[in-house]
Structure 1
């Protein structure tokens, strides 16, 4: 089955010269494009395409280094521009072997439509094709779209790409953390184990018989698992941060009223709840205007 080329499009409220500069000059390009750690132009030979090298850090001290060349630029009469690229790498570790693509800059009344389309050949035969189709191609398409949104915000609002990426990854780390915490504490100590300490805290807070306490514990476990799933499925996560900013102080107050001795237990619930409350405050603060790949158009029309 033939792969669909990667296509990403976004409208940037700026003039074409500024977008061109931010995407064509290597020291600017490498700041906003998540796909590259560094880009360096090689000395240009007269009447030859501009060649460059790139490097992408992939973690654990490993990196992929490759080559590229600007195979042509076209400036049309309507003011649009197109820049075509040929790229590849000789490193066997890279899923990409060689590819081609282009960037297009289309002036609009008060903005620039910036788009790219590219495709590539892969290494590792059928296994590489399978991995590319199911994992790598969706991932690099997403990284391209996220990078375009970071570029847009940099040009329109002046926010440095590095600070945008810090906010983005911090936001998602907190999302995964809170989801995991709620699901674990709902399923583990409450629903699966019905831990005696959980039952004891329940009965201290709300006097009831053992059977009722167990039923209440299961109900609370289901609510916590549901909240954990909301962190993954619900898009307006800023509301979840707000909810937690209100909930965690109430949990602390409830524990104190039920039995003040819980506050000095090893791995005290007090410090645990306070830590989550502070993280919720930080999350609420950084969750404003987080970069997103969803702001880009991912399919060509027409």
Structure 2
């Protein structure tokens, strides 16, 4: 089973020295590269490659620690630079055994820099490890590399720090999962499964419908809410969904209160519930503006 190398490329509007420093200085590198939690250079011996140690936190107090060597850098007459790496780890839990790759910096006529990387590695754990790597881990590594490159680009071009970008990115992801769960849960549990009497009562209090007709409306509403929850998982432009909710939640709140004013006196009521969701949606609108994305990178040579 042949391992396809990971390739990521994008254009960065930056001075060469500034970009080189951000990628070669370990203190700066670890700020933007999602693949590493810590990079530490070891004392360099004259005439030998620069050696370093890296650590990647994988959660639950566990981390992968490995070694690396900058095996060479080449500067051409047109100003291009190349930095090659040899890396690996001896930890048994690591899917990566050993690998090699390079970074290349190519000046463009518009004064931008074409920044690209290609690397490959040998996975551990035999055939099961190769299958896991091919279908799960390697795509994740490619995505993490591309997202990191876009974070680096925005840092170089706009000055927004990687920490700020990642805070907005993962807050956006968290809110997206939360709203997806919320819509699906409220569509399935109280409407499709339980057909809760209060759900039907809210409909029949506003519209002149029979109980059976009210149940049909609740059934349709439940299906629509599930579809909205699925949309949160699949639709890429989350900002539009946040804007939709900023309109929808006040309407849902007003509808529930108009159906029965006594709802606002309940411990968990539509007034406070929808106001909280409205505030979260407004926060989502703010943080989802121009967030970093892995899709901005070219993934094939």
Give the TM-score taking structure 2 as reference length: 0.97
Moved more, 277-286 or 258-267: 258-267
Moved more, 174-183 or 225-234: 225-234
Partners of 1:234 and 1:6 in 2: how far apart?
A: 26
Partners of 2:242 and 2:222 in 1: how far apart?
A: 20
Q: CA contact under 8 A between 2:150 and 2:293: conserved in structure 1? A: yes
Deviation of the 1:238 alpha carbon: 1.2
Deviation of the 1:219 alpha carbon: 1.3
Q: CA contact under 8 A between 2:257 and 2:270: conserved in structure 1? A: no
Counterpart for residue 179 of structure 1: 180
Partners of 1:199 and 1:180 in 2: how far apart?
A: 22
Q: CA contact under 8 A between 1:106 and 1:112: conserved in structure 2? A: yes
Counterpart for residue 168 of structure 1: 169
Task: Map 1:1-302 onto structure 2 (within 5 A).
Answer: 1-109=1-109, 110-300=111-301
Deviation of the 1:266 alpha carbon: 2.7
Partners of 2:69 and 2:96 in 1: how far apart?
A: 16
Q: CA contact under 8 A between 2:155 and 2:161: conserved in structure 1? A: yes
Give the match's secondary structure for 1:127: helix
Give the match's secondary structure for 1:10: strand
Deviations 1:114-142 (A, max 9, x none): 00000001111111111111110000110
Partners of 1:234 and 1:131 in 2: how far apart?
A: 27
* Runs of at least 5 residues in structure 2 that lack an aligned partner in the other structure: none
Deviation of the 1:280 alpha carbon: 0.2
Deviations 1:277-300 (A, max 9, x none): 110010011110010000000111
Deviation of the 1:84 alpha carbon: 0.4
Moved more, 283-292 or 215-224: 215-224
Q: CA contact under 8 A between 1:102 and 1:116: conserved in structure 2? A: yes
Partners of 2:291 and 2:300 in 1: how far apart?
A: 23
Deviation of the 1:52 alpha carbon: 0.4
* Runs of at least 5 residues in structure 1 that lack an aligned partner in the other structure: none
Moved more, 92-101 or 175-184: 175-184
Give the TM-score taking structure 1 as reference length: 0.97
Q: CA contact under 8 A between 1:87 and 1:98: conserved in structure 2? A: yes
Deviation of the 1:64 alpha carbon: 0.8
Q: CA contact under 8 A between 1:37 and 1:54: conserved in structure 2? A: yes
